[in-house]
């Protein structure tokens, strides 16, 4: 019997692969893992996919406007970043707030630690995976992580020393990353289709 050994990649090897091999992927324990299991081109756009994309767009706009206005940097969609206590994994948060100018060298870009990471939780995400990502982001030096739940229209904010739940009717902040940023939670989500949701 012939056994086939799976190729495990270092983060440097993963980063050097062609974009068509890594688009939408993360590196977890040496394995290339697709971030989203849905594919709109093959399956058609579902309502959940459309809502996910709207939440990312609304949140990116709010954060990018605040960070650009402050002159600190920019918000970026799905950058590949090193995470974990030894930074040997890569993740692609839905949004990352990065201070300063982005370096031009690819390897330097990979080594940037965002000030803030945002993950919009989809139906295919498990709680174990999502909380694992939070731990990885915080261990890498990210100061603030938002987990956004579109169906509940709720955001859980994580810092190294505390966790706060923001619900509809609350005003969310991004302290200490964006001093003065305040936004109604409902502004980060599309309006509900009907009152039953």
CATH class of 43-188: alpha beta
The kind and range of the H/E element at 12 are helix 11-16
Secondary-structure percent of the chain, ordered helix, strand, coil, rounded to 5: 30, 30, 40
Segment 117-175, tens digit of pLDDT: 999 998 888 889 899 999 999 998 999 999 999 999 999 999 999 999 999 999 999 99
- The pTM of the whole model exceeds 0.85: no
What would the pLDDT profile of 38-54 be if each residue is shown by its tens digit? 444 555 568 888 899 99
State the DSSP string of the chain: ----PPP---HHHHHHS-HHHHTTEEEETTEEEES-S--HHHH---HHHHHHHHHHHHHHHHHHHHHHHHTSEEEEES--EEESTT--EEE--SEEEEESPPPSSHHHHHT---SEEEEEPPTT--HHHHHHHHHHHHHHT-SEEEEEETTTTEEEEE-SS-EEEE-TT-EEEETTTEEEEEEEGGGGSPPPSSTT-
Average pLDDT, the chain: 84
Q: What is the DSSP letter of 7?
A: P
């Amino acid at each position: 019997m012939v056994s086939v050994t799976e190729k495990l990649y270092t983060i440097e090897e993963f980063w050097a692969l062609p974009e068509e091999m890594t688009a939408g992927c993360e590196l977890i324990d040496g394995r290339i893992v697709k971030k989203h299991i849905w594919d709109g081109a093959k399956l058609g756009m579902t309502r959940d996919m459309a809502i996910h994309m709207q939440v990312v767009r609304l949140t990116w706009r709010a954060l990018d406007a605040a960070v650009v206005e402050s002159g600190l940097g920019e918000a970026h969609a799905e950058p590949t970043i090193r995470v974990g206590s030894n930074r040997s994994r890569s993740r692609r948060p839905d949004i990352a707030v990065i201070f300063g100018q982005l370096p031009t060298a690819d390897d330097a870009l990979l080594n940037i630690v965002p000030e803030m990471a945002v993950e919009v939780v989809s139906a295919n995400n498990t709680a174990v995976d999502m909380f694992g990502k939070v731990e990885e982001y915080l261990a890498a030096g990210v100061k603030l992580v938002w987990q956004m739940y579109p169906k509940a229209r709720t955001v859980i904010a994580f810092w190294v020393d505390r966790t706060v739940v923001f619900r509809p009717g609350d005003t969310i902040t991004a302290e200490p990353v964006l001093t003065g940023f305040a936004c109604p939670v409902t502004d980060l989500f599309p309006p509900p289709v009907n009152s039953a949701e």
